[in-house]
């Protein structure tokens, strides 16, 4: 019709015929003829109807041959007889296309169900499959799934968000998924919150005309949103657990009612899949908790009353007699009971008992139980915990960090040192993850053991007669527990590497401000790490003996990796490569230990003896490394690779 300049409004349900010349008929427009260079002389135009008599189109014949002859009544009758068949064919074609589309959609929904119930172990995998299917099924540019933090809470807050962009969109657009920050992705958070709170779907055909849409966020993201379809995700109990959202049809049309119905049906299955996955993870976590709890109960117990009474009545040696005020103190000079009395002396010397009204008997019981909750592993045992606490004691007193730290920070650091490796199993975080242990399932793969150490410390504090913080105010108690958690978690070297660059920059520029909590937290973390690594600063005989204990524990883990996990252990865990220890120690000192102690010494000159100790020990390891190179060749020595996660 456009080819001859007609509009739909000009077509009547009856036969329209224009005899030559057409330009004399007021219903005809010759604008298209002028553009196309075509001369329309006569037109026969008739409606195409379906079986219900509804007009579904128009058929027209132009310029009857021979040229200039008008269409006759017979022509009209012929066309009128032909058009019902044309209407039937068009209707059938439309029905077939619609049924084919419904078949494809039904098949896609069945594939979604199959996908979801095949993969119900990891939430991220389930949601990613959901989004991939949504992008394909509804032919849109982006899809997001936002899960509620607490489905019982009246306040809408999302705990997990997932986003996926269509590959077709990425290929055609300069804005790729990598260019969009996490905050930019969630430009429709307000819409998602509305859907989650009301339980009603939202279908926005023109986002920039809708007051609920944040146009500023859209412009900042660099991704232009035209239309939005957002629906709630329900679980089997008809509770909203999140929302699903799709943006921009690829064909640039708006989402219609059919799209909304399909998306809502699709999301029903998604809700079931997500709910089942969450339930599976909850069951798995409950099993892990039970497994860890049973393991603890079978291995640990609190100390006896006899032990407490004996320690309470014991006379404590002075600090000078014990030698615990020296940077070069040797923890090997004390037995297990001697380390308990020395720990008591440190708490008394720091005034913790008096300042926080700590019951002396409770303190004795707590120390004995903490000792009992360290396992008999070669290195990460009670002796190591005491050694770390003694190093912190020297940092606070001899190096005068007590001038910066508050009393409650000092208490948290001392308790954190003694508890920072509670229930250590002699294996690192990487081993927990690779073996799929109950601890890894319970705490995740990030700082697994450190979270376990803290939770174990809390368990001891909550045991009857063990709460050394009982007389603190509720505010101080809450603050102290936060400080204690930070102290223990900071012994994870991953966190140390995240913070140390900034800390070193502050030290070099002199920008540390002790009025800022983030600077104080950074200092506490660095002190915890330094004390955890303190053995590297001790006199050579002590330092080497500790290195051998660490190596022994690592070799035991390597043996387990080889036998239980069928893996080839890294060099530092492989007893068959024990001759490489000097090279690994040099990398350990240069890459991790020395920069930290040098920064602390620049911050506080009284820490310099620890730097001197490191330099002295490094020279000894250099001698051994030189001997190793001579006997094994420089090429082999160069292959020593330090695995930083090994010490975690």
The residue written with tokens 């310099």 in the block is 608
**Contacts with 203 (C-beta within 8 Å, 6 or more apart), sequence order:** 228, 229, 230, 255, 260
- The structure tokens listed for 438 are 């109950």
3-state secondary structure of 453: helix
Residue 380 annotated in active site: yes
- The structure tokens listed for 496 are 């140390």
Q: 506-526 burial, b for 16+ CB within 10 Å, e for fewer?
A: bbeeeebeeeeeebbbbbbbb
Q: 22-35 burial, b for 16+ CB within 10 Å, e for fewer?
A: beeeeebbeeebee
User: Could you tell me the CA-to-CA distances from 504 to 110, 344, 494, 510, 530 in Å, in that order?
Assistant: 57, 34, 16, 10, 14
User: Could you tell me the CA-to-CA distances from 293 to 114, 289, 299, 464 in Å, in that order?
Assistant: 37, 6, 10, 17
In angstroms, rounded to a whole number, what is the distance separating the alpha carbons of residues 478 and 501?
30
- Residue 78 in contact with residue 97, Cβ under 8 Å? no
Q: Which of 244, 227, 220 is nearest to 162 (CA)?
A: 244
**Contacts with 618 (C-beta within 8 Å, 6 or more apart), sequence order:** 586, 589, 590, 594
In angstroms, rounded to a whole number, what is the distance separating the alpha carbons of residues 445 and 139?
36
Question: Reduced to 3 DSSP states, what percent helix, strand and coil does the chain have, rounded to the nearest 5?
Answer: 60, 10, 30
Catalytic pick among 224, 238, 300, 380: 380
Three state DSSP letters for 462-523: HCCCCCCCCCCCHHHHHHHHHHHHHHHHCCCHHHHHHHHHHHHHHHHHCCCCCCCHHHHHHH
Exposed, middle or buried: residue 254 (CB in 10 Å: 0-12, 13-18, 19+)? middle
- Residue 575 in contact with residue 559, Cβ under 8 Å? yes
User: Could you tell me the CA-to-CA distances from 185 to 8, 228, 249 in Å, in that order?
Assistant: 43, 13, 17
In angstroms, rounded to a whole number, what is the distance separating the alpha carbons of residues 171 and 223?
14
**Contacts with 158 (C-beta within 8 Å, 6 or more apart), sequence order:** 146, 147, 148, 149, 189, 192, 196, 242
Residue 143 pairs with which residues in a beta bridge? Answer: 164, 246
Q: How many residues does the chain have?
A: 648
Q: Which of 568, 592, 575, 571 is nearest to 641 (CA)?
A: 571
In angstroms, rounded to a whole number, what is the distance separating the alpha carbons of residues 242 and 272?
12
The residue written with tokens 């998602």 in the block is 192
Residues annotated as catalytic are 380
């Amino acid at each position: 019709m456009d080819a001859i300049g007609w509009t739909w409004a000009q077509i009547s349900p009856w036969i329209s015929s224009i005899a030559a010349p057409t330009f004399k008929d007021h219903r005809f427009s010759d604008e298209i003829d002028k553009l196309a260079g075509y001369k329309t002389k006569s037109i026969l135009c008739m409606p195409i109807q379906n079986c219900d008599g509804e007009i579904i189109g128009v058929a027209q014949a132009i310029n009857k041959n021979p040229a200039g002859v008008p269409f006759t009544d017979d022509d009209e009758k012929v066309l009128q007889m032909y058009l019902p068949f044309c209407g039937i064919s068009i209707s059938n074609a439309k029905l077939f296309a619609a049924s084919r589309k419904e078949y494809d959609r039904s098949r896609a929904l069945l594939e979604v169900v199959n996908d979801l119930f095949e993969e119900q172990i990891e939430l991220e995998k389930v949601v990613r499959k959901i989004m991939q299917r949504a992008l394909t099924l509804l032919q849109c540019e982006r899809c997001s799934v936002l899960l509620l933090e607490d489905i019982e809470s009246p306040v809408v807050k999302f705990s997990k968000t997932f986003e996926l962009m269509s590959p077709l969109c990425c290929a055609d657009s300069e804005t790729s998924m990598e260019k969009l920050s996490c905050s930019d992705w969630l430009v429709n958070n307000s819409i998602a919150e509305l859907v989650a709170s009301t339980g009603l779907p939202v279908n926005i055909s023109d986002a920039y005309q809708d007051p609920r849409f944040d146009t500023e966020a859209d412009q900042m993201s660099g991704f232009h949103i035209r239309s939005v379809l957002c629906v709630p995700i329900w679980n089997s109990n008809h509770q909203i657990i999140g929302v699903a959202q799709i943006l921009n049809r690829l064909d640039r049309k708006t989402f219609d009612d059919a799209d909304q119905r399909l998306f809502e049906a699709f999301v029903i299955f998604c809700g079931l899949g997500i709910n089942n996955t969450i339930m599976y993870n909850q069951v798995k976590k409950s099993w892990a908790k039970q497994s860890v709890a049973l393991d603890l109960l079978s291995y640990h117990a609190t100390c006896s009353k006899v032990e407490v009474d004996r320690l309470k009545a014991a006379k404590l040696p002075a600090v000078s007699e014990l030698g615990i005020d020296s940077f070069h103190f040797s923890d090997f000079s004390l037995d297990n009971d001697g380390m308990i009395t020395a720990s008591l002396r440190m708490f008394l010397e720091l005034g913790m008992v008096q300042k926080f009204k700590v019951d002396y008997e409770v303190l004795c019981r707590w120390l004995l139980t903490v000792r009992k909750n360290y396992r008999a592993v070669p290195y990460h045992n009670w002796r190591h915990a005491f050694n770390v606490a003694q190093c912190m004691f020297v940092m606070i007193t001899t190096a005068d960090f007590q001038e910066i730290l508050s009393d409650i920070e000092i208490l948290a650091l001392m308790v954190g040192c003694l508890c920072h490796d509670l229930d250590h199993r002699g294996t690192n975080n990487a081993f927990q993850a690779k073996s799929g242990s109950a601890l890894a399932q319970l705490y995740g793969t990030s700082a697994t053991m450190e979270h376990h150490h803290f939770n174990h410390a809390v368990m001891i504090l909550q045991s009857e007669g063990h709460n050394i913080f009982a007389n603190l105010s509720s505010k101080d108690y809450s603050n102290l527990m936060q400080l204690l958690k930070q102290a223990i978690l900071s012994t994870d070297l991953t966190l140390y590497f995240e913070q140390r660059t900034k800390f070193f920059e502050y030290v070099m520029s002199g920008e540390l401000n002790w009025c800022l909590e983030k600077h104080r937290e950074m200092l506490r973390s660095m002190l915890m790490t330094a004390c955890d690594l303190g053995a590297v600063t001790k006199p050579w005989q002590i330092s080497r003996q500790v290195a051998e204990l660490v190596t022994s524990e690592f070799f035991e883990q390597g043996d387990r990796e080889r036998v239980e996990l069928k893996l080839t252990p890294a060099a530092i865990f492989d007893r068959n490569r024990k001759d490489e220890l000097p090279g690994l120690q040099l990398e350990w000192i240069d890459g991790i230990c020395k920069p930290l102690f040098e920064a602390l010494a620049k911050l506080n000159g009284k820490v310099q003896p620890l730097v001197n100790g490191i330099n002295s020990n490094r020279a000894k390891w250099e001698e051994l490394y030189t001997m190793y190179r001579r006997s094994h060749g420089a090429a082999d020595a160069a292959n020593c690779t330090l695995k930083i996660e090994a010490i975690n």
